[in-house]
Amino acid sequence: MAATSTRDLGTGLFVLLGFAALAFLLTQTTDLDEYRGDSGYRVVARFQDIAGLKVRAPVTMAGVNIGRVEKIEFDGDRLDALVTLRIENRYDRIPDDSDAAVLTAGLLGSKYIGIGPGGSDTYLADSSEIQLTQSAIVLEKLVSKFLFSQAENTGGGQADP
Amino acid sequence: MDNLIEIKNLHFKRADRPIFAGLDLDIPRGKVTAIMGPSGTGKTTLLRMITGQLRAGQGSVRIADGDGMTDIGTLDRDAIYRLRRRMGMLFQNSALLTDLDVFENVAFPLREITDLPDRLIRPIVLMKLEAVGLRGAAGLMPSELSGGMGRRVAMARALVMDPELLLYDEPFSGLDPISLGVILRLIRETNDVLGLTSIVVSHDVEEIARLADYCYVIAEGRAIAHGPPAELARSESDLVRQFMAGAADGPVPFHYPAGDFARDLAGD
Amino acid sequence: MVQPGSIVGGLLGFLGKLGASVYFLGEILRQSGIGIARPRLVVEQIHNAGVLSLVIIMTSGLFVGMVLGLQGVDALSRLRQEDILGASVALVLLKELGPVVTALLFAGRAGTALASEIGLMRATDQLSAMEVMAIDPVRRIVAPRFLGGAISLPLLTGVFNVVGILGAWFIGVYVLGVDNGAFWSQMQEYVDPEDIWEGIFKSAAFGVAASLIAVFEGYNAVPTAEGVGLATTRTVVTTSIVILMLDYVITAALL
Ligand SMILES: Nc1ncnc2c1ncn2[C@@H]1O[C@H](COP(=O)(O)OP(=O)(O)OP(=O)(O)O)[C@@H](O)[C@H]1O
Ligand SMILES: [Mg+2]
């Protein structure tokens, strides 16, 4: 009988351990609060080019994380990218003439959205649109532009001794 | 005659090889009936048909049920399970549950099928173990038993639900003379004292002659002879004489059916 | 000699076995009320399948995690991205390695034990004896073992994942100097609850598959010593292949 109860105890502990492991995974490896679907309000912004921006990329202001990219769609009529941002509720006093830019963390790092403050007295609210946007700086375009202007410069120099 | 089981014109095949081809056989109530026959004739198969584990291809296996006879082949799963509660069976190799000790093996059907509390199960189990002379072995595991002891434990287990029909598959094989005597006595006594019907499958002619009330010899898919053992011993039939005398070859061939030997050797 | 017919025959054999095991699963599920009527039987099997596998699962999880720590730091340092070590290890373990490796270890430890136990009961007529005693072996023997296995595997997978993450954390943070705060915060940043649910869903599916294959092979073993050995080998081989195939199918369906 003693053997049986030790076994029961062991099995009970095992089941407990298994659920504790799941609890650990759900609380320690992921941020449930931040993820919880509906908290925060949504604003949209249109960009000519979002380059490698991904859903769930951070939205920052003054370098501080204030929300996330929730949805990225291509607008077939206006031929631009329509990006939905979810911003945490406590940041409810962002001037509605603020601008949004697709930025890059480091030289080759992942893309995120940075919001630069405007000066208006009215604030962004749910489903308002950020009018002022700046698209991603695409390195290839930058490089080709640079090379092109270099070639023009040197070409001009040779033609005029 | 009052029969517990009646088998009529039974046909059964295994992988296209006929095992039974028109077997007729009756088991009289309250008697010890022996079923004899050479190895591989389908004796174990026949027991499995009586317990409803295999179904007849043709013909019927009927068992007395209330006033009439029920064809086992037509029963659904639940009815077969109900029917089996009236039966106990001793397997060729006692088939004890290896992870339970002797006591729990015997108690197993009671615990599984009835709601009896421990304080009732205990005396029943000890009584059955006492009947087979193994009450002292209640705490042993099956691996600690000899073949003969294991068979007696299996017998106690088969008896524990008070069945009306007991089936024994080769209860004598591999036993020393003393254990053999014990088993013979047990089969006879339980049959007579508890008023059971017993079917004993064996090919041990001598033991059957001492034990059985009635005897069937099956070969080639049919019952080739039946009667009280003493009568069979005087039989005129070559087949029966071969079997009763234990001759290697005769009408019952020593060989399993095969093609031409020379051609087989040549590799065709 | 490989004949064209043998491929067709093999395929038909496989399909036949698949059908038979699905049918068997139906029968097991029909009889699994025993788990409620007599929970002790299932508890016993959770002990056999789960508790007895715990040591091998934790040891393997620890070393898999530590290796991921070493390799992760080596690879990520080339991109100057050591900070996302926690996130990478957690995603790899939660979504793929955890469920798959645990299921493969489970097949080797618990699956073989199940198959040989039931196969031996078949070979020694214990299952037939139960049938004759009017006790359904699928209900009394197979269903509790199936349930015990299917319940144990997701729990074991959770333990494997936690131990693995801690192993990577130990190597990354204490041995190789990755920042402790970055390890956890980047993990929380990038791991979604969906990733965890995906892993749990996979391990639940693997638990059903691995347990079903083990009890199926054991129950249908050829009743000889050789047959039981063959059933055990088949359990490991079939489970491994099925787990990897199933993993692909589930991943493709979920992504
Ligand atoms: N599962 C099976 N599949 C195919 N054939 C089988 C199977 N089981 C038994 N057989 C065949 O059925 C025949 C009868 O077998 P059975 O076990 O009933 O013989 P038996 O009379 O009990 O023999 P023994 O005296 O040796 O126990 C044998 O020839 C055997 O080859
Ligand atoms: Mg036999």
Instruction: Report the pLDDT value the prediction gives residue B245, as an integer from 0 to 100.
Output: 67
Q: What is the pLDDT of residue C169?
A: 95
Q: State pLDDT tens for residues C66-87.
A: 999 999 999 998 988 888 899 9
Cα(B242) to ligand 1 centroid in Å equals: 21
Q: Looking at the predicted structure, is the pLDDT value of residue B244 above 80?
A: no
Region A13-23 average pLDDT: 92
C39: Cα separation from own chain's centroid: 22
Q: Where are the domains positioned within chain C?
A: 37-254
* Predicted confidence band of residue B268 (pLDDT cuts 50, 70, 90): low
Q: Choose from A30, A36, A70, A110 for mutation: most chain C CBs within 10 A.
A: A30
Q: What is residue B1's predicted lDDT score, i.e. its pLDDT?
A: 56
pLDDT at C58: 96
Q: What is the pLDDT of residues C60-70, one digit of tens each?
A: 999 999 999 99
Prediction pTM value: 0.82
Query: Is B259 part of a structural domain of the chain?
Result: yes
The distance of A63 to chain C (nearest Cα, Å) reads 16
Residue of B176, B151, B162 whose CA lies nearest to B92: B151
Distance B18 CA to ligand 1 centre (A): 11
Mean pLDDT lowest among B49-53, B232-236, C144-148, C161-165:
B232-236
Domain annotation covers residue B153: no
- Hey, where are the domains in chain A? 32-144
Mean pLDDT of C12-22: 88
How many Cβ atoms from other residues are within 10 Å of residue C174's Cβ? Answer: 11
User: Average pLDDT of chain B?
Assistant: 86
B15 ligand 1 Cβ < 6 A: yes
Q: What average pLDDT does range C215-225 have in this prediction?
A: 95
In this structure, what token pair is assigned to residue C125?
């007529």
HEC letters along chain B: CCEEEEEEEEEEEECCEEEEEEEEEEEECCCEEEEECCCCCCHHHHHHHHCCCCCCCEEEEEEEECCEEEEHHHCCHHHHHHHHCCEEEECCCCCCCCCCCHHHHHHHHHHHHCCCCHHHHHHHHHHHHHHCCCHHHCCCCHHHCCHHHHHHHHHHHHHCCCCCEEEEECCCCCCCHHHHHHHHHHHHHHHHHCCCEEEEEECCHHHHHHHCCEEEEEECCEEEEEECHHHHHCCCCHHHHHHHHCCCCCCCCCCCCCCCHHHHHHCC
What integer is the mean pLDDT of C171-185? 90
- Please compute the mean of the pLDDT values over residues A101-124 and round it to a whole number: 83
Q: Judge whether residue A159 has pLDDT over 50.
A: no
Number of structural domains (chain B) is 1
Percent residues over pLDDT 90 in chain C: 78
Nearest CA to ligand 1 atom 14: B42
Higher pLDDT, C4 or B188: B188
Q: What is the mean pLDDT of residues B30-44?
A: 89
Q: What is the pLDDT of residue B247?
A: 58
If contacts are CB pairs under 8 Å, which of residues 160-179 in chain B contact chain C? Answer: 161, 167
In the numeric block, the tokens 């304080």 are attached to B119
Does C1 have pLDDT greater than 50? no
Please report the pLDDT score of residue B231 as a whole number. 82
Give A160's pLDDT tier (boundaries 50, 70, 90). Answer: very low
Say which residue, A33 or C245, is predicted with more confidence: C245
Q: Is the pLDDT of residue A156 over 70?
A: no
Percent of chain B with pLDDT over 90: 39
User: How distant, in Å, are the alpha carbons of C63, C117, C244 from that of C113?
Assistant: 24, 6, 21
Dump pLDDT digits (tens) for B89-144: 999 888 999 999 999 999 999 999 998 999 999 999 999 999 888 999 999 999 99
Q: What ipTM was estimated for this complex?
A: 0.85
Whether B32 maps to a domain, the answer reads: yes
Identify the band that residue C35 occupies on the pLDDT scale cut at 50, 70 and 90.
Answer: confident
Which CATH number belongs to the domain containing residue B43 in this structure? 3.40.50.300
pLDDT score, position C21: 92
Using the beta-carbon criterion (under 8 Å), do B51 and C124 form an inter-chain contact? no
Q: State how far residue C214 is from chain A, nearest Cα, in angstroms.
A: 21
Q: How confident is the model at residue A142 (pLDDT cuts 50, 70, 90)?
A: confident
On the question of pLDDT at A110 being above 80, the answer is no
What is the per-residue pLDDT across B199-219, written as a single tens digit (0 to 9) for each?
999 888 888 888 899 999 888
Reply yes or no on whether the pLDDT at C20 is more than 80: yes
Q: Across the interface, do C135 and B88 touch by the CB < 8 Å criterion?
A: no
Mean residue pLDDT of chain A comes to: 82
Tokens encoding B75: 């029963």
Name the pLDDT band for C188 (thresholds 50, 70, 90): confident
Tell whether the model's pLDDT for residue A4 goes beyond 70.
no
Q: Confidence class of residue A161 from pLDDT cuts 50, 70 and 90?
A: very low
Per-residue pLDDT for C120 more than 70?
yes
What's the confidence (pLDDT) of residue A2?
A: 47
Q: What is the phi-psi region of residue B151: left when phi exceeds 0, alpha when psi lies from -120 to 50, beta otherwise?
A: alpha
pLDDT band at A34 (very low <50, low <70, confident <90, very high): low
User: Over 50: is that where the pLDDT of A58 sits?
Assistant: yes
The answer to whether B126 and B134 are in contact (CB under 8 A) is no
CB B141 within 8 A of CB B101: yes
| CB C215, CB C87: distance < 8 Å | no
Q: What is the mean pLDDT of residues C227-254?
A: 94
Chain A: which residues have CB within 8 Å of chain C? 7-8, 10-11, 14-15, 17-19, 21-22, 24-26, 28-32, 35, 56, 106
What mean pLDDT do residues B214-242 have?
81
- What pLDDT was estimated at residue B204? 81
Domain range spanning residue B196?
3-86+163-266
pLDDT of A32: 67
Owner of token pair 């004896």 = C129
Determine, yes or no, domain membership for B176: yes
**For residue B85, what is the nearest residue in chain C, using CA coordinates?**
C134
